[in-house]
A and B are shown apart, each in its own frame.
Chain A
Amino acid sequence: MKKEIPLIITFISGLLLVVALFIPHEPFGSLQERFNDWYIIVSGFTLILGVDSLLLYHYRKIKRKEKDAPYSAILIFSFVTVLIWGIYSGIKHGNPFAPTSTFLRYFYTYIFVPLGATMFALLSFFIASAAYRAFRARTFNATLLLISAGLVMLGRVPKGEETIPYFIGITLILIALIFALEGIQRVNPYEKALFFVLSILSLGVIFPSSILLKKYLPFIADWVMNIPQLGAKRGIFIGISLGAIAMSIRIILGIERTYLK
Chain B
Amino acid sequence: MLKIFFIFSLLPPSEIKAYDVPNDAGGRILVEWNLSPDDSLIDFYILFRQFQKEGTWALPETVSILKKGENSFIDQGLKNGISYRYFIRAVKGGEFIDSDYSNIAIPSAQWFHKKRLSALILLIIIVSLLLFYIEKAKKGEHLYIRKIAGLDAIDEAVGRSTELGKPLLFSLGLGTIAEIPTIAGLSILKRVAKKAAEYETDLIVPCFDPVVFVAAQETVKEGYLEAGRPDLYKEGNVFFLSYEQFGYAAGVDGIMLREKPGAVFLQGYFYAESLILAETGNSIGAIQISGTTAVTQLPFFVAATDYTLIGEEMYAASAYLEKEPLSLATIKGEDWVKILLIIVILAGVTLETLSFFVKNPFLHFLKEFFTIL
Contact = CB atoms under 8 A, between A and B. Distances in A.
A242 B129 CA distance: 12
Contacts of B116: 21-22
B43 interface: no
A140 interface: no
B198 interface: no
B82 interface: no
Interface residues of A, number: 61
A30 B25 contact: yes
Interface string A228-258: 0000010011111011111111110101101
Contact of A116 (B113, B207, B244): B244
Interface residues of B, number: 82
A246 B240 contact: no
Nearest to B324: A255
A130 B113 contact: no
A255 B330 contact: yes
A76 to B, nearest CB: 14
Nearest to A248: B180
A5 interface: no
B113 A22 contact: yes
A131 B302 CA distance: 11
Contact of B210 (A47, A71, A253, A260): A47
Interface of A: 18, 21-26, 29-30, 39, 42-43, 46-51, 53-54, 56-57, 60, 68, 71, 115-116, 119-120, 122-123, 126-127, 129-131, 133-134, 233, 236-240, 242-251, 253, 255-256, 258-261
Interface of B: 23-26, 109-113, 116, 119-120, 123, 126-127, 130, 134, 176-178, 180, 183-184, 186-187, 190, 207, 209-211, 213-215, 218-219, 221-222, 236, 239-241, 243-247, 249-250, 254, 258, 272-273, 275-276, 278-279, 293, 295, 298-300, 302-304, 310-312, 314-316, 318-319, 324, 326-327, 330-331, 333-334, 337-338, 341
Shortest Cβ-Cβ A-B pairs, 4 listed: A50-B210, A243-B315, A243-B312, A50-B240
6 contacts: A119-B246, A127-B275, A127-B300, A238-B338, A246-B130, A250-B330
Given A246-B315, A249-B126, A259-B215, 15 more contacts: A22-B119, A43-B209, A48-B210, A50-B210, A57-B239, A115-B247, A119-B249, A119-B276, A126-B276, A130-B279, A134-B302, A242-B337, A242-B341, A246-B130, A256-B327
